[in-house]
């Protein structure tokens, strides 16, 4: 995932995309590659992270940190990757709740979608989703509605 050739990086991420369980070192490499300059690489990385059956706590904490990245595309992909997990720790839930107020509508959309994929949500998340029903962006509002409907 650190090769100079973007096709090699994309292929490496695609290979990991076919694995539901990858070693922690590979997952951390994928998280680092969320910031790749090439869109195709970032897309493959996001998909590979979303398909992991279980992310280790260190990876979840890394993704929480990435939710604060300056680049909205990176933040959106981190929220999407967290959404691949059906059960997240409270710290991740709270970070996704915070992302519901992100300046970027796509980040808010991904955060709502990720919350909706959780098997259960705390009351604070439900209240935040209800508050997000006032969302101006139609796609994000739809994700908020779907998230609430899934609970």
Q: How far apart are alpha carbons 115 and 83 in whole angstroms?
A: 7
Each residue's pLDDT tens digit in the chain (151 positions)? Answer: 999 999 999 999 999 999 999 999 999 999 999 999 998 999 999 999 999 989 999 999 999 999 999 999 999 999 999 999 999 999 999 999 999 999 999 999 999 999 999 999 999 999 999 999 999 999 999 999 999 999 8
How many Cα atoms sit within 13 Å of 78 on the Cβ side? 30
**Exposure of 130 by Cβ count < 10 A (0-12 exposed, 13-18 middle, 19+ buried)?**
exposed
The dihedral of CA 122, 97, 115, 42: what is its sign?
A: negative
């Amino acid at each position: 995932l650190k090769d100079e050739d973007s096709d090699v990086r994309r292929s490496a991420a695609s290979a990991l995309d076919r694995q539901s369980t990858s070693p922690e070192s590979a997952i951390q490499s994928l998280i680092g590659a969320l910031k790749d300059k090439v869109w195709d690489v970032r897309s493959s990385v996001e998909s590979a992270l979303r398909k992991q059956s279980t992310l280790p706590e260190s990876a979840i904490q890394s993704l929480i940190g990435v939710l604060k990245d300056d680049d909205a595309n990176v933040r959106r992909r981190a929220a999407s990757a967290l959404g691949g997990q059906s059960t997240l720790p409270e710290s991740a839930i709270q970070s996704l709740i915070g992302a519901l107020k992100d300046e970027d509508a796509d980040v808010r959309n991904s955060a709502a979608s990720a919350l909706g994929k959780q098997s259960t949500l705390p009351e604070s998340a439900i209240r935040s989703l209800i508050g997000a029903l006032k969302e101006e962006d139609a796609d994000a509002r739809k994700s908020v509605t779907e998230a609430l409907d899934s609970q």
